[in-house]
Amino acid sequence: MDQIKRFDLDKKPLKEKFFLTPLAYLLSFPSVWKRKLKINKVSMKGLKPPYILLCTHHAFIDFKVTTAAIFPNRANYIVAIDGFIGREWLLRNVGGICKRKFTNDIKLFKQIKYALEELKYIVAIYPEARYSLCGTTAILPESLGKMVKVLKHPVVVLNMHGDYLTQPVWNLSMRRVPLAADMTQIITKDEINFLSVDEINRRINQAFIYDEYQWQKDNQIKIDFKHRAKGLHQVLYQCPSCKTEHQMNSDLDKIWCDSCGKTYHMDVYGELHAEQGVTEFSHIPDWYEFERAWVKDEILSGKYYFEDEVYIETLPNSQGYIPLGNGKLIHNNQGFVLTGDELGKPLNLVKEPLSLYSLHIEYNYLGKKGDCIDLSTLNDTYYIYPLNKKNVVTKLHFAVEELYKIEKGKVKN
């Protein structure tokens, strides 16, 4: 591994090549026109690049909505390293800036600063760092406020609606859903000098609030897609009736528990209804937060523990994944420990709770070995597939977030 060239994170970002701009428009505008995208711009009059554009993150179509929202301007986009696989030249030449997820990376700050100050471009950042799991806001890094304070550029938030409902991360089949977006300048350049970091973060977090299922219900958006609940058990992995974990299943418009048999129907407006007995959670995000609270209780009581044999791949650069074979992953109140063999060299990766405020997970990643999580250092990203325990990655992500909040609270106190 020491002899393998790593992705060059020091290479300066580029302005989008003029001959690639028509291609970007061709790939973006027909999709958003077909879905009747409506963009509501607030406090945007007179604002011109450079500025920081913070975008909510729901599905791949986000990038197309962003393209339409900033038209006719172009941007540098922060893109995870797996997006560069086999197309590094293309992504660099459309303005892509590479990032390894959930790492404290001073190089990324320098690249953003260069794009704003030297290229005079918009810098588009998706700070949730993964697609929304259940159509609600993910945890945002506290470092956003510090970055904004130092960079001293206006901040715009693009809060998108309908993208998640079009293609939820747990079932990538496309639905026909109208799209909308609120594009709001939340911090002007003149305000930055007197705003505290806490106030900057408060404004960002407030502007990032969304609930796709509530938006669907409020706007009476009918999704009669036949398989609209298929895959939902990957997010809603715990039965709210018998409390059994990892025994949920789903197909067509139903989700059920294989342990107690309780079944719920998902209607065309995204609400759940028990076929028999009480409906514990008709609103999907409420079920999701019930699971989070359960994991937090396990952590606080000292009961939380995960261990499994895993298959490991690494991604040191944009050339593709390198298989490392099987290893072991442990996660508990002390964080992650990943052990294995790294091409003849012992692999021992430790991630303590305060080193991860959240976790990137994938369902049935690329059709390989099922669900996976990834853990990154500044030089490598490890893709880790549990081999024996199924449908566990959503719980792992809850545990990471709750452990971080608990440990962060101890430090503040």
Structural domain boundaries enclosing 105: 21-218
Residue 195: other Cβ atoms inside 10 A: 17
Interior angle at CA 125, CA 189 and CA 412, nearest 5: 80
Q: 340 and 196 share a domain? A: no
Task: Calculate the average pLDDT of the chain.
Answer: 96
Mean per-residue pLDDT, 89-104:
94
Cβ-count burial of 9 within 10 angstroms (0-12 exposed, 13-18 middle, 19+ buried)? middle
Q: Does 413 score more than 90 pLDDT?
A: no
Query: Can you give the CATH number for the domain in which 402 is found?
Result: 2.30.29.30
Write down the pTM of the prediction. Answer: 0.96
Taking a C-beta distance cutoff of 8 angstroms, is the pair 399, 367 a contact? no
Identify whether 11 is part of a domain.
Answer: no
Identify whether 227 is part of a domain.
Answer: no
Q: Does 412 score more than 90 pLDDT?
A: no
Cis peptide before 346 (omega within 30 of 0): no
pLDDT digit string (tens) for 244-292?
A: 999 999 999 999 999 999 999 999 999 999 999 999 999 999 999 999 9
Q: 105 and 207 share a domain? A: yes
Identify whether 274 is part of a domain.
Answer: yes
pLDDT digit string (tens) for 298-341?
A: 999 999 999 999 999 999 999 999 999 999 999 999 999 999 99
How many structural domains does the chain have? Answer: 3
Counting residues of the chain whose pLDDT is more than 70, the rounded percentage is: 100
Q: 128 and 236 share a domain? A: no
Q: Does 408 score more than 90 pLDDT?
A: yes
| Boundary residue ending a domain (165, 186, 218) | 218
Q: Does 384 score more than 90 pLDDT?
A: yes
Q: 376 and 395 share a domain? A: yes
Mean per-residue pLDDT, 384-406:
97
Q: 331 and 213 share a domain? A: no
- Position 161 scores a pLDDT of 98
Q: Does 50 score more than 90 pLDDT?
A: yes
Identify whether 281 is part of a domain.
Answer: yes
Q: 387 and 406 share a domain? A: yes
Helices and strands in the chain, H and E counts: 10, 18
